[in-house]
Structure 1
Amino acid sequence: MTSHLCWAAVLAGALLAGCSPAQIVNGLVPSTSYRLETGMAYGPQPRQQLDVYRPLADRPPAEGKRPLVVFFYGGSWTTGERADYRFVGEALAARGAVVVIPDYRLSPRATYPVFVRDSATATRWGIDNAARLGADPRQVFVMGHSAGAYLAAMVALDARWLRADGGDPSQLAGWIGLAGPYDFLPIGDPKTQVAFNWPETAPGSQPLAHASAASPPALLMVATHDRLVDPARNTGRMAERLRTSGVKVEVRAFDDLDHVTLIGAMAKPLEWIGGPVLPPLLSFIGLAPDPPASGEPSASHRAPH
């Protein structure tokens, strides 16, 4: 049986057993390839906690030289738990990065800009603790998927939020957005309307409005046929605005992925679904990609000019 069929059988069995997609993906990744510290507080609220994934001691680069990635998950600003994204922490920590995955307060109990403030506070925690965690404080990146990509963009582009915590976007080495909504006014989705207080939504809530020459370098990854977040309107316009401002930006578009599988493909066993997503991401944060496995099919992805 080919590796494709093996993993397909595993996924089918897990789905029949009633497992969630996150449980399925987490069940496919190793649990011995990183060190994990859970439930660390970055603020006084119950959801202001984070998990830290650290590389094993023998994983290059050396202690103190590792990049640190603060990852924000998606969920339309209304759902999500940091434990569901162990596969993201493992994918990066097993290859040499320190990874911080925070929870943040969610709508409808919290609305804009509360979740942005939480994201900035968690990022400042990562910057302040990078050296203690064995990472380079000069190599801190923010990263997110979907609504989490929005949060990463706001922290990186809108200086108000990090400065409120005594930091600054200039402390970031870059930001990474996967299928991010960066320009979504007017708001039609009812849950998002609540999260952003529509129709009183502030124009400054849109990341695109804050792209400037001062923005950190960016890696923007997108599924070409994403039906949830328009890739042309969001990733396309963001890339154009950054480039026009003189900011270094790399765009990776994947023809065989969708909004959800774009993040799922970060789990090494699931690269066959349309990746590889990991190699450009690892390169962007300064880590060596895995050597290609012999006999594996090539991926359908593009690097737009």
Structure 2
Amino acid sequence: MKRRMMWIAAVLLGLLLVAALAFWLAVRQNGPTVLDAVDRLSGPDTGVELVHRASTGSHPEQRLIVYRGKSASGALPVFVFFHGGAWAHGDPRDYGFIARNIAPEGYVVVLGGYRLNEPGRYPAMLEDTAAAVGWVYDNIEDYGGDPDRIVLSGHSAGAYNVMQVALDTGWLEKAGVPQEAVRAVVGLAGPYDFHPFDTDRSRAAFASVGAGAESQPVNNVRGDAPPVLLVHGENDTVVRIRNSKALAHALQEAGARAETLYLPGKTHNDPLLALTHPWRRDPLVFERVAQFLQAAVPVSVPVQAETP
């Protein structure tokens, strides 16, 4: 009997290891899609629905998606999020988990896309990011959003996009967005100080078109910049934490408000994971982001998720 129980335990352990390996491979192949599925299956029904899709250009990657809580009322602040992917891959349609977790806090959520690879080389990715913010400013009232209370956010390459657009005032000006409409920026594991370009991805996206120091958010800081929250894993080997530290220091030296949350032992995707179920069980990141948003764009009455 004892040997039988040991054999059953070994089989179960083997199945768990196979399942873990399959999950790891799936995440590596298309991480956001897997995260979206896991969040949908493991999280509660937050009563958030997709209310609109729009194109911001002729390229299929120039797109955005609008989400809002079913029971939300009034004009809500807008959380505009841009995906990562080293300016080479990614799709806003895979990031529904951002909307399901942020919208119930009292926001309309917009997931933005931008051209990738050769069509998206600098400054095209910034043109597309600014165009998406411009669309939000011009149209979000139709979907219950307040165009004068916009928060920009992104992960990795997306964090670079929003930070550069928010700090270099020319981008929003060209898009017809008043600087004061962007109330805050949340950067998750973003590259903000990586010139000269020393990786294949950065060389392909920037050096191939002759971009220089002007392309770096750290070189565009200003004292009147919107408040910034930088979240970064201390063990991130994809985008080194020095990027967030350098930007935070430069912003603070210029007189701007820059908050940081550095995560011991965490790597590149952990700040993104922390905004999804079941990883939200560790509330450190999510609660800090929620507190930062509440300070920047106060929500007087939190949206209550619908229950089944």
TM-score class, shorter: 0.7 to 0.9
Alignment of 1:251 onto 2:295: no
Give unmatched runs, 5+ long, in structure 1. Answer: 1-7, 291-305
The answer on whether the counterparts of 1:266 and 1:277 sit within 8 Å (CA) in structure 2 is yes
TM-score (norm. length: structure 1): 0.83
Q: How far 1:275 sits from its partner (Å)?
A: 5.2
In the alignment, the residues of structure 2 paired with residue 43 and residue 23 of structure 1 have an alpha-carbon distance, to the nearest angstrom, of 24
Q: Partner of 1:113 in structure 2?
A: 123
Alignment of 1:15 onto 2:17: no
Q: How far 1:169 sits from its partner (Å)?
A: 2.6
Alignment of 1:1-305 (within 5 A): 12=20, 15=23, 18=26, 20-30=30-40, 33-57=47-71, 59=72, 62-64=73-75, 66-198=76-208, 200-232=210-242, 234-272=243-281, 276-286=284-294
User: Over residues 216-263 of structure 1, what are the superposed CA-to-partner deviations in whole Å (9 max), with x where a residue is unaligned?
Assistant: 11111111111111112x111111111111111211111142101221
Letter in 2 for 1:186: P
Query: Aligned with 1:228: secondary structure?
Result: coil
Give unmatched runs, 5+ long, in structure 2. Answer: 1-15, 304-308
Letter in 1 for 2:23: L
Letter in 2 for 1:142: L
In the alignment, the residues of structure 2 paired with residue 17 and residue 199 of structure 1 have an alpha-carbon distance, to the nearest angstrom, of 34
Q: How far 1:268 sits from its partner (Å)?
A: 2.9
Query: Aligned with 1:29: secondary structure?
Result: helix
Q: How far 1:42 sits from its partner (Å)?
A: 2.2
Q: How far 1:94 sits from its partner (Å)?
A: 2.7
In the alignment, the residues of structure 1 paired with residue 285 and residue 302 of structure 2 have an alpha-carbon distance, to the nearest angstrom, of 11
Q: Could you say if the C-alpha distance between residues 276 and 43 of structure 1 is closer, same or farther in structure 2, counting changes exceeding 3 Å?
A: same
Letter in 2 for 1:182: Y
In the alignment, the residues of structure 2 paired with residue 262 and residue 94 of structure 1 have an alpha-carbon distance, to the nearest angstrom, of 19
The answer on whether the counterparts of 2:148 and 2:180 sit within 8 Å (CA) in structure 1 is no
In the alignment, the residues of structure 2 paired with residue 10 and residue 156 of structure 1 have an alpha-carbon distance, to the nearest angstrom, of 44
The answer on whether the counterparts of 1:254 and 1:275 sit within 8 Å (CA) in structure 2 is no
Letter in 2 for 1:251: T
The structure with more helix, counted as a fraction of residues: 2
Q: Could you say if the C-alpha distance between residues 223 and 18 of structure 1 is closer, same or farther in structure 2, counting changes exceeding 3 Å?
A: closer
Q: Could you say if the C-alpha distance between residues 188 and 201 of structure 1 is closer, same or farther in structure 2, counting changes exceeding 3 Å?
A: same
The answer on whether the counterparts of 1:69 and 1:97 sit within 8 Å (CA) in structure 2 is yes
Greater relative contact order (Cα 8 A, min sep 6): structure 1 or 2? Answer: 2
How big is the alpha-carbon RMSD for the aligned residues of Structure 1 and Structure 2? Answer: 2.5
Q: Could you say if the C-alpha distance between residues 183 and 26 of structure 1 is closer, same or farther in structure 2, counting changes exceeding 3 Å?
A: same
TM-score (norm. length: structure 2): 0.82
The answer on whether the counterparts of 2:79 and 2:109 sit within 8 Å (CA) in structure 1 is yes
Q: How many residues align?
A: 277
Moved over 3 A (4+): 8-11, 16-20, 287-290
